[in-house]
Amino acid sequence: MPIIEVNGLRKVYGGRAVVDGVAFTVEEGEIFGILGPNGAGKTTTVECVEGLRVPDAGTVRVAGLDPVADRERITRILGAQLQKSELQANLTVREALELYSAFYPEPGGTGGPEGPRNKPDWRDLAERLGLTPKLTTRFAALSGGQKQRLFIALALIGGPRVVVLDELTTGLDPRARRDTWSLIEDVRDSGVTVLLVTHFMEEAQRLCDRIAVISDGRVAALDTPAGLIRRTAGNTVISFTPSRPLDERELADLPEAESVAHQDDRVTIHGSDTTVNAVISLLARAQITAHQLRVADATLDDAFLDLTEKQEA
Ligand SMILES: Nc1ncnc2c1ncn2[C@@H]1O[C@H](COP(=O)(O)OP(=O)(O)OP(=O)(O)O)[C@@H](O)[C@H]1O
């Protein structure tokens, strides 16, 4: 049974459906990504999963429970990332960890079958997340990366089965972001299911087992990162600067070419291996030299732009 099931989810604000029929399921142990342009409805969707917003229609189940009706039991199953405003500036890391840990019953207590399976000792969590040297530091004095580590620790402090992380790495430098990725992988490897909202394609491509692309309140596509790339943007991106302009009709007729774009003198073609061969033959026939010829695998960035452009069109 999937650990998260969302069906026909709808949320209306001011007469406008900002989430309109969203459906997906998340299997236990997955990192499931939610991607989409600003205002697409990602946070609204995950906050319905967390039980923080009440859907206008549709159903949400987390481990078989309704996040709104079963709010109390859900808080023992699902760990949510706090927003910055939810922690007092003068609280130390130790105080925050102790305080939040005290919210959750001890294992073997009254938690029942859905209670904390393995509520961690907050000291172990602090150690795992590299926070031990910072225990006496006040929240306001932590760096962005340290704050994010603390948010991950607090999200995990009740020993949840599911953790929801919304734009966790926004504002982090590249090293802190990569460190956070390793942490999220560790979390998944420890058996926790991760629901991850992100704007970073590289992050989604590296971390997520599957991704739902949400655009304009609907699921535009749902697949593995590789699957999204394959079925949208074409597998291969060919780019070069021709020594003289190419015949547009010949470019448009290239086999399996999904798109041809020009930026200044540079030509970029999304296609397949067959397209690569055809481009090279075309250039040879026309005796055109291709400067800085690059052939690369398409990325999730390409797929995302392709999918969300189609929605906006
Ligand atoms: N409480 C609210 N009242 C009115 N409108 C809201 C409310 N919450 C969200 N919205 C609107 O719903 C739409 C979706 O918002 P949401 O925060 O879910 O988008 P998002 O995909 O998470 O965006 P972003 O990437 O910018 O964080 C937006 O147009 C937003 O203005």
What ipTM is given for this predicted complex? 0.96
Comparing 83 with 184, the larger pLDDT belongs to 184
Scored b (16 or more CB within 10 A) or e, 112-135 reads eebbbeebbebeebbebbebeebb
Residue 107 DSSP label? T
Tokens matching residue 198: 């992100």
If one residue of 12, 18, 22, 311 were mutated to test the ligand 1 pocket, choosing by the most ligand atoms within 8 A of its CB, it would be 18
Among residues 170, 179, 175, the alpha carbon closest in space to that of 149 is found at: 179
Contact present, 243 and 288 (Cβ < 8 Å):
yes
DSSP per-residue string spanning 151-188: HHHHHHTT--SEEEEESTTTT--HHHHHHHHHHHHHHH
Distance (Å) of CA 33 to CA 85, 221, 231, 276: 24, 12, 18, 32
Nearest ligand 1 atom to the CA of 44 is 18
Answer yes or no: is pLDDT of 94 > 90.
Answer: yes
Residues framing ligand 1 (Cβ under 6 A): 13, 18, 36, 38-44
For atom 13 of ligand 1, which residue has the closest CA?
A: 39
Among residues 297, 304, 298, 296, the alpha carbon closest in space to that of 211 is found at: 304
Tokens matching residue 271: 């296609």
Cα–Cα distance, 90 to 261 (Å, whole number): 53
Answer yes or no: is pLDDT of 233 > 80.
Answer: no
Ligand 1 mean position to 43 CA, how many Å? Answer: 7
Portion of the chain with pLDDT greater than 90, in percent? 54
Ligand 1 mean position to 38 CA, how many Å? Answer: 8
pLDDT per residue over 25-42, tens digit each? 999 999 999 999 999 999
Cα–Cα distance, 94 to 87 (Å, whole number): 13
Strand partners, 267: 240, 262
Q: Is 302 helix (H, G, I), strand (E, B) or coil?
A: helix
Answer yes or no: is pLDDT of 108 > 60.
Answer: no
Does the pTM surpass 0.80? The reply is yes
Residue 135 DSSP label? T
Comparing 233 with 118, the larger pLDDT belongs to 118
* Mean pLDDT over each residue of the chain, to the nearest integer: 88
For atom 27 of ligand 1, which residue has the closest CA?
A: 38
The structural domains of the chain, ordered by start, are 4-229 (3.40.50.300), 234-297 (3.30.70.980)
Nearest ligand 1 atom to the CA of 167 is 27
Ligand 1 mean position to 61 CA, how many Å? Answer: 22
Ligand 1 mean position to 242 CA, how many Å? Answer: 44
Strands 210-215 and 31-35: parallel
For atom 30 of ligand 1, which residue has the closest CA?
A: 39
pLDDT per residue over 134-151, tens digit each? 999 999 999 888 888 899
Handedness of CA 243, 245, 248, 250 (dihedral sign): negative
Scored b (16 or more CB within 10 A) or e, 275-292 reads bbebbeebbeeeebebee
Nearest ligand 1 atom to the CA of 11 is 12
Ligand 1 mean position to 41 CA, how many Å? Answer: 6
Ligand 1 mean position to 171 CA, how many Å? Answer: 20
Distance (Å) of CA 146 to CA 132, 134, 158, 176, 179: 11, 9, 20, 9, 11
Ligand 1 mean position to 217 CA, how many Å? Answer: 10
